[in-house]
Amino acid sequence: MNQLLPERLEQIEAGGVGHHLAAALHGIEKEGLRVTGSGRIAPTPHPRSLGAALTNKFITTDFSESLLEFITPALPEPATALEILRALHHYLYTSLDDELIWAASMPCWIEDVAEIPIARYGSSNLGRMKHIYRLGLQHRYGKMMQSIAGIHYNYSLPEPFLRGYRDLLEGSETMQSFTSAAYFAMMRNFRRHSWLLLFLFGASPVVSRSFLKGSRRGLDTLTEDSLYLPWATSLRMSDLGYSNAAQSAIAVCFNTLPTYIATLAGAINTPHPEYERIGVVVDGEYRQLSNTILQIENEYYSDIRPKRAPEPGESALQALNRAGVEYVEVRSTDVNPLLPVGIDLEQARFMEAFLLTCLLMGDTPVSEEECRVIAENHHRVTTRGREPRLMLSTPWGETVLEELARRLLHQCGLTAQLLDTEHDTTDYAQSVAAQHAKIDDPNLTPSARIIESIKNSALSYNEWVLALSKQHKKTITSRPVAADIIEQLANEAKDSLLRQSRIEEDDTVDFDTFMRRYRTHQTDIAASIGDK
C-alpha cells in the first residue's frame, strides 16, 4: 500500500484544509450519435433549433454532424452536473422528432463510411478551419474511428485547498507552479492506475460487425452481426478504438508541464511522411490543416489531459504556458448503455475519490520503461480485463489484477472517508464499496452485464443498443425539466446563432490568408514555448 496517502490525508484533516474540497468543480462532456428510429446514423444536419454548433456552449457536435456533444457547466456538486446532463438530453429530444441518441460508445451499424457526415460550422474562417480539421482526422484515422463516442469528466480542485495543501507540504513555489505540479502528479498516478477504471466502468466489450468492415481483428462472434472479446472491458480504449501509429512516437509521460507543452508543440510543427503524402491543399481543396504529426494539440489522444480555458485568440497550449493547469479532463470513460445518460452519480463520486487518491499518492516521475508498462497494462485490461487471474506488471513484478485492485480500492476508501466527512454523507464510501463488489464478482461489471444481456436477448448489438436507446428516451422525457433551465437552453440556442453570424461578418481576410497566419502563429508558439 502507498504509505504516503494516509499521512497526507491525516495532514489535510488535522490542518483543516479538507473542507475546501466541497468547492471542487465537476463538469461532464458526453458524446452521442444521432440515429434514426431504425438504428442507422442520422443523415440530417445538426438541428437549427439547437443553435449553432460553433458557438453553443451546451450542445455542439464532435467529428460528425451526427455526433452530438453535451457540455455541462463546471459545478461544485456532481449530482447537479448529472441533472444538467439529463436536462440537455431532454431538451435535445424536443428537436429530434423520431431520431434517438445512441446509448453506447461503439457506433451503430454503418454500412458505408460515406454515411458519416463530417461536422460543419458555417462559413466563417473559424468554422471552415474546424471542418477542415475534421477532414484531416478522416484522412488520418478514418471516419469509423471518429464515430466512437465517450464521456469526458472534468475535475478542478479549489484554489484555497491547493494553497492549504502547499502550506502543509511546506512548499515554496508560486501557486501557479505548485498547482500545475500537483495536477501533473495526479495525472501520472492516474495513468499508472487508470486500468482500474477500465475494469470497473469499461462498457464497450462488443462492436457491430460493420465497425471492422469485414475484418475480425481477432474478435469472436457474439451474434451474426456482433463481434466481441469474452473478457474485454473497453474495446473503445483498446487498439481497436483510439489508436494511431504516428502518435505512438509522441513520448508524453506527464512529468512536467514545460515538457508536456514542448512535446506537443513539437508534434504540431513536425511533418510526418504519411501526412505529407495526403497533402494539405490538393486540386484547390483543403484535406487537412497541416502535414504535421498533430494538426492541433487536441488531436493528441490520451486518457487524461491538463486543461486551462484559453483567452480569445489563444491556443490550448498557450493558455497552459501562460497560466498553468486549471483542471484535468479524464477521457477514458465509456458511455454505459445500461444508464440513461451513460454515467451515474455513484461513478462520479468514485471518480472524485480516485482522482484525489492519485493526487495524494506522491509525485514520483514516470520513466520510459514505466510508460511501456502502463501501456501494456492498459492493453491487457481493455481486451482481457475480466480474465480470471489476469496478471498486471508492477515495479515488484507481475501481480494478479484482483490483488492490485483491492489495494487501490482500500486507498480510495481512505480518501472517501475524508470526502464523506467534509460533505457530511456516506455516499463516497458507498461508491467505493460498490466497486469492491465488482472485484469480488466481475459479473457485476458493466462489460460483463452487457455481454450477458445481449446473449440473453437473442438480439444483435445494434438491435440491443437501439432498444435501450428507445427506453432511455422514454425515461429521460418522462420527468420534466425545470422551466428556467429550458429557458436558459433556448436562449443559448438563439444567442449562439447570433454569435456565429457576428463571427462570419467580422472576417476581414480570405481563408487562405487566415490559414497562412494560423500556421505562422503555430510556428511562433513552438519557438516561444517554455519561455514562461
> CATH number of the domain that 355 lies in?
3.30.590.20
- Dihedral class, residue 104 (left if φ above 0, else alpha if ψ from -120 to 50, else beta): beta
Report the alpha-carbon distance of residue 393 to residue 85 in Å, rounded.
37
Residues paired with residue 35 on neighbouring β-strands, in sequence order: 41, 100
Report the alpha-carbon distance of residue 292 to residue 310 in Å, rounded.
23
Calculate the dihedral angle through the C-alpha atoms of 210, 216, 220, 226, rounding to the nearest 10 degrees.
0
All cell numbers assigned to 155: 475535475
Query: Where do we find the cell 440513461?
Result: 340
Report the alpha-carbon distance of residue 198 to residue 193 in Å, rounded.
10
Domain count, the chain: 1
Specify the DSSP class assigned to residue 64.
B
pLDDT of residue 246: 66
pLDDT (tens digit per residue) in 140-189: 999 999 999 999 999 999 999 999 999 999 988 999 999 999 999 999 99
Which residue range is the domain that position 109 belongs to?
Answer: 4-528
344: number of Cβ within 10 Å = 16
Report the alpha-carbon distance of residue 228 to residue 383 in Å, rounded.
9
Report the alpha-carbon distance of residue 426 to residue 434 in Å, rounded.
12
Report the alpha-carbon distance of residue 354 to residue 269 in Å, rounded.
35
Report the alpha-carbon distance of residue 209 to residue 150 in Å, rounded.
20
Report the alpha-carbon distance of residue 488 to residue 88 in Å, rounded.
11
177 phi/psi in degrees, rounded to 5: -65, -45
- For the chain, list residues with pLDDT below 50: 530-532
For residues 403 and 415, the answer to whether their CB atoms sit within 8 Å is no
pLDDT of residue 243: 65
For residues 46 and 63, the answer to whether their CB atoms sit within 8 Å is no
Burial of 168 per CB tally in 10 Å (0-12, 13-18, 19+)? middle
Report the alpha-carbon distance of residue 290 to residue 364 in Å, rounded.
36
All cell numbers assigned to 51: 443553435
pLDDT (tens digit per residue) in 503-520: 999 999 999 999 998 888
CA-based nearest residue to 428, from 370, 481, 355, 361 = 355
All cell numbers assigned to 341: 445518460
What pTM does this model have?
0.96
End-to-end CA distance of the chain: 37
For residues 288 and 268, the answer to whether their CB atoms sit within 8 Å is no
Report the alpha-carbon distance of residue 323 to residue 135 in Å, rounded.
31
527 phi/psi in degrees, rounded to 5: -70, -35
All cell numbers assigned to 241: 478504438
Report the alpha-carbon distance of residue 167 to residue 169 in Å, rounded.
5
The 3-state DSSP class for residue 187 equals helix
pLDDT of residue 524: 74
Distances 170 to 13, 115, 163, 237, 373 between C-alpha atoms, Å:
16, 58, 10, 39, 33
Q: How many residues does the chain have?
A: 532
Q: What angle do CA 517, 521, 525 make, to 5 degrees?
A: 175
Burial of 423 per CB tally in 10 Å (0-12, 13-18, 19+)? middle
pLDDT of residue 532: 45
